[in-house]
């Protein structure tokens, strides 16, 4: 009954994938581990062997999504060499990634609540908020918005994007992305005139 290492890896991936689907569809609280393992053709034993507990599985799911989103942001931002345009492109990429049905509930709603706000922020160095912070910090080094706290600005913009993304996802219309980005661009106009 013991499987080979590669097979065990597949088991982990299966649990991650199935878990992601359930967490995305039902939310963390209403997701039953029993259903996840049943859908995976496994038992509670498998899950608790590979993950510490429900929160552990959720944490792992979040990590994989975060990596994907961060990759997306970097890819889009790198399409321009202008720092303000990079910022704008990165923000749009975040919103676009975040509202994907598989991501929305996990990233925008349950994530910070379940794993706690502190751990949420520390998640990993490639977390999307980190990318935002780095970009803003670089811009400040280049002389932009010198009077502002980059940390404060990061959280402010991050929050604006999170809530905007939720609103967009709710409306279901992709035009809303443009509206939200328009608002952000207006903020950026204010930032450009700050020193």
What residues line the site for DNA (CB under 7 A)? 1-5, 7-8, 11-12, 31-34, 37, 42-46, 48-50, 53-55
Based on its alpha-carbon atoms, the radius of gyration of the chain, rounded to whole angstroms, reads 19
Q: Which is nearer to a copy of itself, 11 or 97 (CB)?
A: 97
> Directed axis angle between helix 128-141 and helix 54-77, to 10°?
40
Contact status: 161 vs a copy of itself (CB under 8 A): yes
Contact status: 109 vs a copy of itself (CB under 8 A): yes
Helix extents (H) in the chain = 5-26, 33-40, 44-50, 54-77, 83-98, 101-103, 111-115, 117-122, 128-141, 150-171, 175-192
Report what 97 binds from a copy of itself, DNA, none; CB cut-off 5-8 Å by kind: none
d(CA 52, CA 58): 10
Who contacts 57 (Cβ-Cβ below 8 Å, separation ≥6)? 15, 16, 19, 33, 36, 47, 51
The secondary structure of residue 69, as a DSSP letter, is H
Backbone angles phi, psi at 39, to 5 degrees: -65, -25
Q: Which is nearer to a copy of itself, 46 or 87 (CB)?
A: 87
Q: Which is nearer to DNA, 41 or 159 (CB)?
A: 41
Min CB(184)–a copy of itself separation in Å = 7
Site string for a copy of itself, 22-41 (x = CB under 8 A): -----x-x------------
Min CB(38)–DNA separation in Å = 10
Q: Please report, as ranges, the residues that interact with a copy of itself according to CB under 8 A.
A: 27, 29, 109-110, 112-113, 117-118, 145, 147-149, 151-153, 155-164, 166-167, 170, 176, 179-180, 182-184, 186-191, 193-194
């Amino acid at each position: 009954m013991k499987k080979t290492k590669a097979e065990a890896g597949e088991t982990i991936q299966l649990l991650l994938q199935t878990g992601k689907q359930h967490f995305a569809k039902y939310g963390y609280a209403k997701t039953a581990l029993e259903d996840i393992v049943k859908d995976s053709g496994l038992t509670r034993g498998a899950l608790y062997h590979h993950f510490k507990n429900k929160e552990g599985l959720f944490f792992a799911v979040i990590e994989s999504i975060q990596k994907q989103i961060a990759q997306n942001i970097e890819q889009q931002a790198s399409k321009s060499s202008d720092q303000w345009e990079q910022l704008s492109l990165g923000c749009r990429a975040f919103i676009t990634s975040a509202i994907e049905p598989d991501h929305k509930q996990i990233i925008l709603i349950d994530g910070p609540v379940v794993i706690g706000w502190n751990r949420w922020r520390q998640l990993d160095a490639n977390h999307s908020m980190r990318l935002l912070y780095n970009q803003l910090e670089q811009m400040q080094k280049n002389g932009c918005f010198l009077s502002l706290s980059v940390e404060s600005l990061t959280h402010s913009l991050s929050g604006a994007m999170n809530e905007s993304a939720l609103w967009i996802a709710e409306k279901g219309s992709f035009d809303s992305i443009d509206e939200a980005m328009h608002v952000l661009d207006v903020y950026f106009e204010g930032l450009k005139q700050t020193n």
